[in-house]
Amino acid sequence: KVLILDFGSQVTQLIARRVREAAVYCEIHPNDVSDEFIRSFAPKAIILSGSHASTYEDHELRAPQAVWDLGVPVLGICYGMQTMAVQLGGKVEWSDHREFGYAEVRAHGHTKLLDGIQDHATLEGHGMLKVWMSHGDKVGMLPPGFKLMASTPSCPIAGMANEEKGYYAVQFHPEVTHTLKGQAMLTRFVRDIAGCKGDWIMGDYIAEAVAKIREQVGDEEVILGLSGGVDSSVAAALIHRAIGDQLTCVFVDHGLLRLNEGDMVMDMFAGKLHARVIRVDASELFLGQLAGVTDPEKKRKIIGGLFVDVFKAEAAKLKAGDGGHKGASFLAQGTIYPDVVESGGTKTKKAITIKSHHNVGGLPEQLGLKLLEPLRELFKDEVRALGVALGLPAEMVYRHPFPGPGLGVRILGEVKKDYADLLRRADAIFIEELRGWKDEATGKNWYDLTSQAFTVFLPVKSVGVMGDGRTYDYVVALRAVQTSDFMTADWAELPYGLLKKVSGRIINEVRGINRVTYDVSSKPPATIEWE
């Protein structure tokens, strides 16, 4: 296994992710763990992360001595390179201007780390690498025993190596995707240089995670808010695997879910996994409070507020315990790594609120519960792979995201039960056809080719003709977008044949809707949801 020492970089988790992608087990620990801890961890290799700090100003931020005493390969990245240089007798030059962005690095000599890894070669045969740089200070003098491994015009020592000891260091960031050959370098380091086998699989992750959850929870009990979304579902399945009936899931049905969604969630968790799930049917409460409300922000606040109230009431009951149960002391959440970065990592001033997102932050303190977040270190695609490995159906795990306020923000203006019922049926047809329509060029279906697709209910009526009769019915809009981060998005160029089929089916099968439109707005300036 590999030990990653974290000096506080924003992208340390990406190092872990790349090591896992090389099928090698790793753990991240703070840079100031004890020598004793490092010896007992017994890593086959150590990676020192980057940092926002400066080796010049911060004399405390160093790798523990055991890192150098253990005799295992060490890779320093960015700050990790600088602290390696300083600790092993080299020098770091202070700089008050930062280099940030793409750079082209030239490889020097032959090193096990970079040999054969390059984006292209110069006429003289030097390997060239496109990399991502982000640093102020830089190494100005190699430590004794080190040779130059890489350079750029503005950073003459961009990589260094002491191959006898297995020490390598780079000033750029191999863990980010902008460094095109970064995965190859990290794989080379952990597999070829450190000799890790590369036989670690998701199944092993489950075993490790299960052991950790058992240790953290002991014989106490846990509550989890199950939404039917990917993250909470995978968290529930994992925690259930670890502690069985010590977990109780609370599923709040606000009446604004997709067609058959509530039953599907119950069938999966209560039926197949035999987990303890409490289904709270709160649809009357939600629809009652939403009556007469048309303002999108007000609707969101009402739904978010009620959701927290209902969940809190259930959690309070569970905390108190009952017959066979002594009462919960943990609240589990499906927080994943990008959520951690978004909420804690950014120091920028808070952007203006475009839409107030459904948010249950602050709940654990209010309820006096400890927090259990077993997915905190994983990225979305890893969470999905974990879900499949835990036996959740692929359709559930690879579903498009669904907003917390649900159909409440897809029914424009006032939310009514009749509208929700029409919308659910129209939406189910759209999704079914997307799943069934294959793209010839890629062999994939259009559900997988889009990032998010859904139907929006427009509370306006238009005139139509059906058979011999005039109709005067509602309109729905189809929305399908392609995006990688949901911050910007393009509308998907769905095949006309598919749109035609969806429109024909909705108008024929859903009485009350006589017109279907397709939304051709990108984000920005439109948003993905209509409210």
DSSP per residue, 458-490: EEEEEEEEETTEEEEEEEEEEEEEE-SSSSSBE
Q: Which stretch binds ligand XMP (CB under 6 A): 186-194, 235-243, 396-404, 465-473?
A: 396-404
Please indicate whether residue 493 is annotated as part of the active site. Answer: no
The closest of 333, 273, 416, 286 to 264, measured between CA atoms, is 273
Least distance in angstroms from the C-beta of 486 to ligand XMP:
4
Identity of the residue, 97 or 350, whose beta carbon is nearer to ligand XMP in the bound complex:
350
Q: Which of 171, 405, 419, 479 binds ligand XMP (CB under 6 A)?
A: 405
229 marked ligand binding residue: yes
Least distance in angstroms from the C-beta of 258 to ligand XMP:
12
Identity of the residue, 145 or 229, whose beta carbon is nearer to ligand XMP in the bound complex:
229
Q: What part of residues 154-193 is at the interface with ligand XMP (CB under 6 A)?
A: none
Q: Which of 90, 159, 387, 403 binds ligand XMP (CB under 6 A)?
A: 403
179-185 CB contacts, 8 Å cutoff, 24+ apart: 179/129, 179/130, 179/131, 179/132, 180/119, 180/129, 180/130, 180/131, 181/117, 181/118, 181/119, 181/129, 181/130, 182/18, 182/131, 183/18, 183/21, 183/22, 184/117, 185/113, 185/114, 185/117
Name the DSSP letter for residue 422: H
Residue with tokens 């690095």: 105
Q: What share of the chain is helix, strand, coil (3-state, %, to 5)?
A: 35, 25, 40
Q: What part of residues 358-387 is at the interface with ligand XMP (CB under 6 A)?
A: 358
Q: Which of 486, 495, 508, 520 binds ligand XMP (CB under 6 A)?
A: 486
**Alpha-carbon separation of residue 155 from 135, 147, 260, 510 (angstroms):** 10, 15, 59, 65
Binding of ligand XMP at residue 529 (CB under 6 A)?
A: yes
Say how many residues touch ligand XMP, by CB under 6 A: 13
Binding of ligand XMP at residue 339 (CB under 6 A)?
A: no
Q: Which of 355, 370, 416, 505 binds ligand XMP (CB under 6 A)?
A: 355
Q: Which of 159, 182, 404, 408 binds ligand XMP (CB under 6 A)?
A: 404
Identity of the residue, 359 or 366, whose beta carbon is nearer to ligand XMP in the bound complex:
359
Site string for ligand XMP, 28-57 (x = CB under 6 A): ------------------------------
Q: Which stretch binds ligand XMP (CB under 6 A): 74-82, 159-167, 402-410, 434-442?
A: 402-410
Q: Which of 357, 444, 500, 511 binds ligand XMP (CB under 6 A)?
A: 357
Tokens representing 411 are 């029914």
Q: Which of 135, 173, 240, 254 is catalytic?
A: 173
Tokens representing 463 are 């005139």
Q: Which stretch binds ligand XMP (CB under 6 A): 80-88, 190-198, 330-338, 401-409?
A: 401-409
Name the DSSP letter for residue 244: G
Q: Which stretch binds ligand XMP (CB under 6 A): 176-184, 256-264, 350-358, 507-515?
A: 350-358
40 marked ligand binding residue: no
Please state, as a whole number, how many other Cβ atoms lie within 10 Å of the Cβ of residue 226.
Answer: 24
Q: What are phi and psi of 354, to 5 degrees?
A: -80, -45
Q: How many residues does the chain have?
A: 531
Q: Are 358 and 304 in contact (CB under 8 A)?
A: yes
Count the helices and strands in the chain (H runs, E runs).
Answer: 17, 21
Residue with tokens 């992208």: 11
Please indicate whether residue 26 is annotated as part of the active site. Answer: no
234 marked ligand binding residue: no
Please indicate whether residue 175 is annotated as part of the active site. Answer: yes
**Alpha-carbon separation of residue 401 from 321, 336, 398 (angstroms):** 34, 14, 9
34 marked ligand binding residue: no
Identity of the residue, 129 or 528, whose beta carbon is nearer to ligand XMP in the bound complex:
528
Identity of the residue, 138 or 424, whose beta carbon is nearer to ligand XMP in the bound complex:
424
Strand ranges (E), 37-152 = 45-48, 74-77, 91-93, 99-107, 120-121, 127-135, 138-141, 147-152
| H or E element at residue 17 | helix 12-21
Binding residues: 227-233
Binding residues for ATP: 227-233
List of residues contacting ligand XMP (CB under 6 A): 355, 357-358, 401, 403-405, 452, 486, 523, 527-529
Positions marked active-site: 78, 173, 175
